[in-house]
Amino acid sequence: MAESSRDPGEKKTTVSALLGVRNGVRAIDFYKAAFGAVELFRTTGEDGSVVAQLSVGSSDFWVADEAPEHQNFSPATLGGSTVRMVMVVDDPDAVFDRAVAAGASGLWPVVDQPYGWRIGRIVDPYGHHWEIGKPLPHAS
Amino acid sequence: MAESSRDPGEKKTTVSALLGVRNGVRAIDFYKAAFGAVELFRTTGEDGSVVAQLSVGSSDFWVADEAPEHQNFSPATLGGSTVRMVMVVDDPDAVFDRAVAAGASGLWPVVDQPYGWRIGRIVDPYGHHWEIGKPLPHAS
C-alpha cells in the first residue's frame, strides 16, 4: 500500500471507500472502461454477488453488491449518494470525456472554479458521483 | 500525495471519498478524536458550512456539509449510507474501541472472519459506516 511521510507513526493505516452498487460485475467493468481501473482482488459469492478491490493511479477503492439486510445500500436503493468520490488527475477534461463515453452522465462540465480548481462532476451508471479535477496553478 | 509503483503511467491520479454530513464542524472534530485524523485543509462558507480534507495514516478523505440542492446528501437525510469506509490498521481492536469511546456505535465487533481478516464495523455519529480491520497471516 502507498505510504506518505505525513504521519510516520501510522504509515500502515489506510482508508478507502467501498461503493455499494446493484450488479457489481457490470459495475467493475464500467470502472475499468471509464477510469482505467485495475482489478486487484475479487471474490464472488454463491449468489453471484461480488466484492472487488480496484486501483486507479495510486489509490484504491472497493465495489460490492449491495446487501440492504446488512445496511449496505446502493444509490439506486436510497435515491442518492452519501459520499462523492474526488478524483485528482492531470487532465480532467480527458478523464471526464472518457467516463461519459463509457456510460456516465455529465452533471457539471469541467470548468475553472473560483476556488482554484479545474473540475467537473459525473454520475456513474450505478448512481455514484465523481468529481474529476486538478488544482490550478496559483495566480500570484 | 502518496504514490505506488502499481501504475507508473498514472502516478499522479488519486481517488478519495468525500463524506456528506450534517454539522461538518462537529464531524471534523469527531474524526480527529476517533481516528486521530489530521486536518489538511478547510474552507468555511458564509453560512458556516465546511469542506475539509483530513488524513489518516497514508490516506486522505474529505468531509463536507450536505447540500441536497446539489445532490450532496448525508446518511441522516437518505436513511443509510451508499459507501462504507474500509480502514486497514495494525490494531483493529484498539481503533474500534477508540472510535466507540469518541461516540461511534459498534455495529459488529472485531472478530476473525473466515475470509481471512480480523475486522469489525462501526457507525459514526453522522451515519457513515467504517470497517476497521487487518488481513490475518495466511494459515498455510
- Summarised one tens digit per residue, pLDDT across range B22-46 is 999 999 999 999 999 999 999 999 9
What are the residues whose beta carbons fall under 8 Å from the beta carbon of B80, sequence distance 6 or more? A68, A71, A73, A77, A78, A82, B127
* Chain A CA closest to residue B132: A15
Kindly report the length of chain A.
140
Pairing of strands B83-88, B129-135: parallel
Distance of CA A113 to the CA centre of its chain: 21
Kindly report the length of chain B.
140
Size of interface A-B (CB pairs under 8 A): 196
How many Å lie between the alpha carbon of A137 and the closest alpha carbon of chain B?
16
- pLDDT higher at A113 or A2: A113
Query: At A139, is the pLDDT very low, low, confident or very high (cuts 50, 70, 90)?
Result: low
- A41 burial (CB, 10 Å; 0-12 / 13-18 / 19+) is exposed
DSSP result, B10-35:
GTT-EEEEEEEESSHHHHHHHHHHHH
> Cβ A88–B14 below 8 Å, yes or no?
yes
E-state strands within A6-72: 14-21, 38-44, 50-56, 59-65
- Within 10 Å of residue B122's Cβ, how many Cβ atoms? 26
Question: Can you give the pTM of this predicted structure?
Answer: 0.91
Q: Answer whether residue A107 shows pLDDT above 50.
A: yes
* Chain B CA closest to residue A10: B57
Query: At A11, is the pLDDT very low, low, confident or very high (cuts 50, 70, 90)?
Result: low
Write down the pLDDT at residue A3. Answer: 40
Q: Which amino acid would we find at residue B37?
A: A
Q: Which amino acid would we find at residue A40?
A: L
Write down the pLDDT at residue B138. Answer: 77
C-alpha separations of B33 from A90, B7, B48, B62 in Å: 34, 34, 21, 16
Write down the pLDDT at residue A36. Answer: 97
Q: Return the C-alpha cell found at A64.
A: 460490492
Write down the pLDDT at residue B2. Answer: 43
CA nearest neighbour of B3 among A55, A36, A46, A121: A55
Write down the pLDDT at residue B12. Answer: 84
> Cβ A83–B7 below 8 Å, yes or no?
no
- Within 10 Å of residue A70's Cβ, how many Cβ atoms? 12
- Within 10 Å of residue A29's Cβ, how many Cβ atoms? 15
* Chain B CA closest to residue A81: B82
